[in-house]
Amino acid sequence: MVDITHKNNTLRTAVAQATVAVGSAETITAIISKNIPKGDVFEMAKTAGLFAVKRTSDMIPDCHPLPIEYTSVEYAILNLEITITMTVKTIYKTGVEVEAMHGASVVALTMYDMLKPIDKNVTIKDIKLQHKRGGKSTYKDDGTPFTASVIVCSDSISAGQKEDKAGKAIIAKLEACGVTVDVYTIIPDEVDQIQEQVQQLQQKGNDLILFTGGTGLSPRDVTPEALVPLLDRQIPGIEEAIRNYGQERMPYAMLSRSLAGVIGESLVLALPGSTNGAKESMEAIFPAVLHVFKVLQGGKHY
């Protein structure tokens, strides 16, 4: 199975449809009046569909077992066709579109099985995903990509004694989310240089300014101290999300001092300097954190 351990639990919804076509109006009448020899077609098929949704991972090898938190089955009759609509919801790390399609297909197959004794012309068609929610949106309202600057704060890396890996991990995640990185620089972990970088990048107009390094407990780790006086507003929720995500994976994440806030219309983040710490921090908040720009513009709130 695909590795989803890096993902966050979010609300996932999927709606799938299947269509059962019968051979005569008499079959439709028998379904509605519940005169089918094998029983109530709609209720039996619905029950089978609910079981199918919950057992999808047993049937489809690459599907993850996941908690199903809501399932519904609706029917619509038009002439000789019955449309089945299956809705599935979960709060988990991966989507439920296969579960919804599996459920819809088993509802249709159950209907076929129950109707075949009275109608030899029943067919199943158009099993499809109608829509799903929980996808990614990484573009501004005007369709242009977000832009970002990545600054590595490290005395040893700036002196050429070590290779930067954390900054490159951050860039890889940004680019995977469709964010354009147009500044990448390495500076010593010094208050004046950090503050100077922020002022320069603000004038450049980047949407995101990301620092990595200098968030530990050593007296030389000064990135948060350098940034706090410059922030118009701190965003504790982003910091909490980063720390909570890391704590679930490594018990020492509680010692990191990640920082998040806004300066003007720019989101400023200070992330850990370790490669894993930087990777996990990015996984914890991207791409969802980009919603902050709608909030700053007075648009949607969470």
Instruction: Indicate which residue of 40, 58, 113, 232 is catalytic.
Output: 113
Q: What is the helix, strand, coil percentage profile of the chain, to 5? A: 40, 25, 35
Our answer to whether residue 232 is catalytic in this structure is no
Peptide bond into 287 cis (omega under 30): yes
Give the span between the Cα atoms of 274 and 168, in whole angstroms: 11
What are the start-end ranges of the E strands in the chain? 10-21, 70-78, 81-92, 123-133, 147-153, 180-187, 208-212, 233-234, 259-263, 266-271
Do residues 171 and 282 touch, judged by C-beta distance below 8 A? no
147-153 and 180-187 strand pairing = parallel
Of 233, 293, 279, 283, nearest in space to 259 by CA: 233
Q: Please tell me the distance from the alpha carbon of residue 11 to that of residue 94, in angstroms, as a whole number.
A: 9
Catalytically active residues, by annotation: 113
